Amino acid sequence: MANLLKISDAASLGLHATAVLAAREDRITTTAEIAEWLNVSEAHLSKVLQRLHKAKLVESVRGPKGGFRLSRAAEEISLL
Protein backbone atom coordinates (compact mmCIF):
# COMPACT_ATOMS: atom_id res chain seq x y z
CA MET A 1 0.00 0.00 0.00
CA ALA A 2 3.01 2.30 0.26
CA ASN A 3 2.87 2.99 -3.49
CA LEU A 4 -0.81 3.84 -3.64
CA LEU A 5 -0.22 7.25 -5.22
CA LYS A 6 2.75 7.77 -7.52
CA ILE A 7 3.88 11.36 -7.80
CA SER A 8 7.24 12.88 -8.64
CA ASP A 9 9.70 14.01 -5.99
CA ALA A 10 9.08 17.62 -7.05
CA ALA A 11 5.31 17.22 -6.66
CA SER A 12 5.78 15.66 -3.24
CA LEU A 13 8.12 18.46 -2.25
CA GLY A 14 5.59 21.03 -3.48
CA LEU A 15 2.82 19.48 -1.38
CA HIS A 16 5.00 19.35 1.71
CA ALA A 17 6.30 22.91 1.23
CA THR A 18 2.73 24.17 0.83
CA ALA A 19 1.77 22.38 4.05
CA VAL A 20 4.68 24.04 5.88
CA LEU A 21 3.59 27.45 4.58
CA ALA A 22 0.00 26.73 5.63
CA ALA A 23 1.16 25.86 9.14
CA ARG A 24 3.11 29.13 9.30
CA GLU A 25 0.44 31.22 7.65
CA ASP A 26 1.04 34.13 10.01
CA ARG A 27 4.58 34.80 8.79
CA ILE A 28 6.94 34.81 5.83
CA THR A 29 9.14 31.71 5.67
CA THR A 30 12.50 31.51 3.91
CA THR A 31 13.54 28.77 1.54
CA ALA A 32 16.29 27.81 4.00
CA GLU A 33 13.77 27.35 6.83
CA ILE A 34 11.48 25.17 4.71
CA ALA A 35 14.43 23.13 3.41
CA GLU A 36 15.60 22.54 6.98
CA TRP A 37 12.12 21.48 8.12
CA LEU A 38 11.77 19.06 5.22
CA ASN A 39 15.43 17.97 5.20
CA VAL A 40 15.79 18.61 1.45
CA SER A 41 18.11 20.49 -0.87
CA GLU A 42 17.58 24.23 -0.76
CA ALA A 43 18.35 24.49 -4.49
CA HIS A 44 15.73 21.87 -5.43
CA LEU A 45 13.18 23.45 -3.12
CA SER A 46 13.86 26.85 -4.65
CA LYS A 47 12.96 25.53 -8.12
CA VAL A 48 9.78 23.94 -6.79
CA LEU A 49 8.78 27.18 -5.04
CA GLN A 50 9.35 29.08 -8.29
CA ARG A 51 6.87 26.75 -10.00
CA LEU A 52 4.36 27.20 -7.16
CA HIS A 53 4.78 30.96 -7.54
CA LYS A 54 4.17 30.71 -11.29
CA ALA A 55 0.99 28.71 -10.52
CA LYS A 56 -0.04 31.52 -8.12
CA LEU A 57 -0.19 29.23 -5.09
CA VAL A 58 2.54 31.08 -3.22
CA GLU A 59 3.87 34.60 -3.34
CA SER A 60 7.44 35.64 -2.82
CA VAL A 61 8.64 38.57 -0.79
CA ARG A 62 12.01 40.01 -1.76
CA GLY A 63 14.63 41.48 0.49
CA PRO A 64 16.55 40.58 3.63
CA LYS A 65 13.37 39.68 5.49
CA GLY A 66 11.89 38.02 2.41
CA GLY A 67 10.70 34.52 1.74
CA PHE A 68 7.45 32.83 0.79
CA ARG A 69 3.87 32.72 2.00
CA LEU A 70 0.65 31.31 0.62
CA SER A 71 -1.01 33.60 -1.91
CA ARG A 72 -4.42 33.04 -0.29
CA ALA A 73 -5.87 31.45 2.83
CA ALA A 74 -5.01 27.78 3.29
CA GLU A 75 -8.71 26.92 3.44
CA GLU A 76 -9.12 28.18 -0.12
CA ILE A 77 -6.43 25.88 -1.56
CA SER A 78 -7.29 22.29 -2.44
CA LEU A 79 -5.30 19.39 -3.80
CA LEU A 80 -7.51 19.35 -6.88
* pLDDT tens digits for range 47-68: 999 999 999 999 999 988 889 9
Q: pLDDT band at residue 2, thresholds of 50, 70 and 90?
A: low
In the predicted model, is pLDDT for residue 45 greater than 90? yes
Long-range CB contacts for residues 45-53, cutoff 8 Å, separation at least 24? 45/13, 45/17, 47/10, 48/10, 48/13, 48/14, 48/17, 49/17, 51/10, 51/14, 52/14, 52/17, 52/18
Q: pLDDT band at residue 46, thresholds of 50, 70 and 90?
A: very high
Whole-structure pTM value: 0.85
Give the rounded percent of residues in the chain with a pLDDT score beyond 70.
96
